[in-house]
């Protein structure tokens, strides 16, 4: 959909004078002469100026990725204007534009944009988000958010955005991978009054692969290295890794982000840089710039390549999420509702057995419970297994919860062994719970059966 200053040209065959009136109002220039770039923006879908130093260029039809020079743009404008006016239903005479007129208009527009870009402070400018109807499920929670302020036209952001747009299949796959986890993460961020846009971090960190492990040993959706994970309370053992548990790792990530937010005085770009590179590394760069009288915002720091690209990649992704239709990107539709809940598993059981019992795909159950390294629930304690909401409802219907303690009245001939087998507990546990010194029991005696 072609746009200019918030106006939309809905009909590509709309009479030319009517379209120019939309652009200039009552102040229509003599002979209908308008800057070629503006006519182009009303004519082509996905047509926009992008400030890329040292000159501006126009990228036409983003899915194809054609880039033309300013001179080619001028010549192309003549052709486009001709086609536009020939197809017009208007009987009025066509506009006559010379190449010199078009080049002069484009040069003037370029000069104005150059002056404007020099005055801009990329880290403090916001153009997002636009007001739009909610039609894309859970993604609308992010696309309409205003927690992070940035200039989406910063050259480094544009560069990363072009990379994403050159591979739309990747964005479709990653957005689909986010489905089981996105609602939980957004909900957790909201509860802590953090920007919901941070739910995109796992896209950058792990591509929403819950079992992802980097070369440096970082693991899980949020890519915690062992030391940082331990500092924020993530348990690790041979059978369990909290870094790969969506519940525990999300809480740890929130704690870390809140700490960094306080440390960097609310500057979210520095916070995200520190999340990637470590707070000490970013603090050193900030101190270095201060010592040399330089600005200390993210864009002014000298950072290693990974961190230098980390923020532009995140913001490029965020800008696409804000305007997926404008970029012809199809995000996987995710309902604005919980995907998973938990059920109590009291015995050590394999995920394979549980998947069969719950009628849930084993791969999905494994993804939801990636923290279980051996794909077994713990042997000595109750475990809250994550399962799809529908599967949990069926399971609870078939397995109603038992009271914490059940009483049993001993009948003639019963033994502790028989009773313990009936309630699936050990004789030792039964004796301990009822303060019995021996295995002797009598008919009519009431025993307390603990929860197994």
Query: Does pTM top 0.75 for this prediction?
Result: no
CA pair distance 136, 333, nearest whole angstrom: 6
User: What are the residues whose beta carbons fall under 8 Å from the beta carbon of 193, sequence distance 6 or more?
Assistant: none
Active-site choice (205, 235, 279, 451): 205
SS3 call for 344? strand
* CATH class of the structural domain 405-450: alpha beta
CA pair distance 415, 244, nearest whole angstrom: 45
Is it the case that residue 90 has pLDDT exceeding 50?
no
Encoding tokens for residue 266? 């609310």
Encoding tokens for residue 375? 């794909």
Of the candidates 93, 76, 86, the one whose C-alpha atom is nearest the C-alpha of residue 13 is: 86
Is it the case that residue 124 has pLDDT exceeding 70?
no
Same fold, 340-398 and 405-450: yes
Provide mean pLDDT across the span 153-176.
96
* CB neighbourhood size of 429 (10 A): 14
For residue 267, give Cα distances in angstroms to 119, 148, 154, 222, 358.
21, 9, 17, 20, 46
Is it the case that residue 375 has pLDDT exceeding 80?
yes
Q: Where in the chain are the domains?
A: 3-119, 139-322, 340-398, 405-450
Is it the case that residue 83 has pLDDT exceeding 80?
no
CA pair distance 255, 273, nearest whole angstrom: 16
Mean of per-residue pLDDT scores for the chain: 78
CATH architecture of the domain 340-398 equals Roll (3.10)
CA pair distance 82, 198, nearest whole angstrom: 47
Tens digits of per-residue pLDDT, 378-392? 987 889 999 999 999
Higher-pLDDT residue of 57, 242: 242
Is it the case that residue 40 has pLDDT exceeding 60?
no
Place of tokens 């809940």: 341
> Quick one: pLDDT at residue 397?
84
* CATH class of the structural domain 139-322: mainly alpha
Of the candidates 177, 166, 231, the one whose C-alpha atom is nearest the C-alpha of residue 204 is: 177
> Quick one: pLDDT at residue 1?
39
Is it the case that residue 24 has pLDDT exceeding 90?
no
Higher-pLDDT residue of 123, 173: 173
Name which of 108-122, 139-153, 168-182, 239-253 the model is least confident about: 108-122
CA-atom Rg of the chain in angstroms: 31
205 is catalytic: yes
Encoding tokens for residue 423? 């309630």
């Amino acid at each position: 959909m072609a746009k200019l200053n918030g106006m939309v040209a809905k009909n590509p065959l709309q009479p030319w004078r009517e379209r120019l009136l939309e652009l200039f109002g009552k102040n229509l220039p003599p002979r209908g002469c308008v800057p070629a770039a503006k006519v182009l923006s009303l004519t082509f879908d996905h047509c926009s100026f992008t400030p890329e130093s040292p000159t501006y260029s126009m990228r036409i039809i983003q899915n194809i990725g054609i880039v033309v020079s300013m001179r080619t743009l001028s010549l192309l404008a003549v052709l486009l204007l001709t086609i536009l006016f020939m197809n017009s239903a208007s009987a009025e005479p066509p506009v006559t534009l010379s190449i010199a007129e078009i080049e002069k208009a484009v040069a003037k527009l370029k000069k104005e944009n150059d002056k404007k870009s020099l005055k801009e402070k990329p880290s403090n400018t916001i153009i997002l988000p636009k007001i739009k109807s909610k039609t894309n499920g859970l993604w609308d929670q992010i696309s309409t958010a205003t927690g992070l302020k940035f200039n989406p036209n910063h050259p480094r952001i544009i560069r990363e955005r072009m990379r994403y747009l050159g591979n739309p299949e990747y964005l479709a796959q990653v957005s689909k991978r986010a489905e089981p986890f996105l609602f939980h993460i957004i909900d957790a961020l909201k509860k802590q009054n953090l920007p919901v846009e941070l739910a995109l971090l796992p896209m950058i960190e792990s591509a929403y692969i819950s079992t992802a492990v980097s070369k440096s040993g970082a693991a899980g959706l949020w890519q915690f290295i062992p030391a940082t994970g331990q500092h924020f309370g993530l348990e690790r053992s041979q059978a369990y890794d909290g870094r790969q548990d969506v519940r525990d790792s999300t809480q740890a990530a929130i704690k870390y982000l809140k700490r960094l937010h306080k440390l960097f005085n609310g500057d979210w770009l520095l916070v995200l840089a520190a999340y990637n590179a470590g707070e000490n590394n970013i603090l050193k760069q900030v101190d270095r710039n201060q010592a040399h009288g330089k600005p200390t915002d993210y864009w002014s720091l000298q950072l290693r390549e990974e961190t230098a690209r980390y923020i532009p990649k995140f913001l490029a992704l965020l800008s696409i999420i804000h305007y997926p239709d404008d970029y012809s990107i199809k995000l996987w539709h995710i309902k604005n509702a919980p995907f998973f809940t938990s059920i109590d598993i009291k015995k050590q059981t394999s995920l394979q057995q549980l998947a069969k019992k719950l009628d849930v795909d084993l791969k999905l159950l494994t993804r939801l419970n990636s923290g279980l390294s051996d794909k077994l629930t713990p042997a000595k304690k109750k475990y809250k297994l994550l399962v799809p909401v529908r599967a949990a409802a069926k399971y609870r219907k078939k397995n109603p919860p038992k009271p914490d303690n059940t009483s049993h009245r001993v009948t003639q001939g019963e033994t502790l062994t028989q009773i313990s087998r009936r309630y699936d507990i050990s004789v030792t546990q039964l004796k301990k719970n009822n303060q019995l010194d021996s295995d002797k029991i009598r008919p009519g005696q009431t025993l307390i059966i603990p929860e197994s």
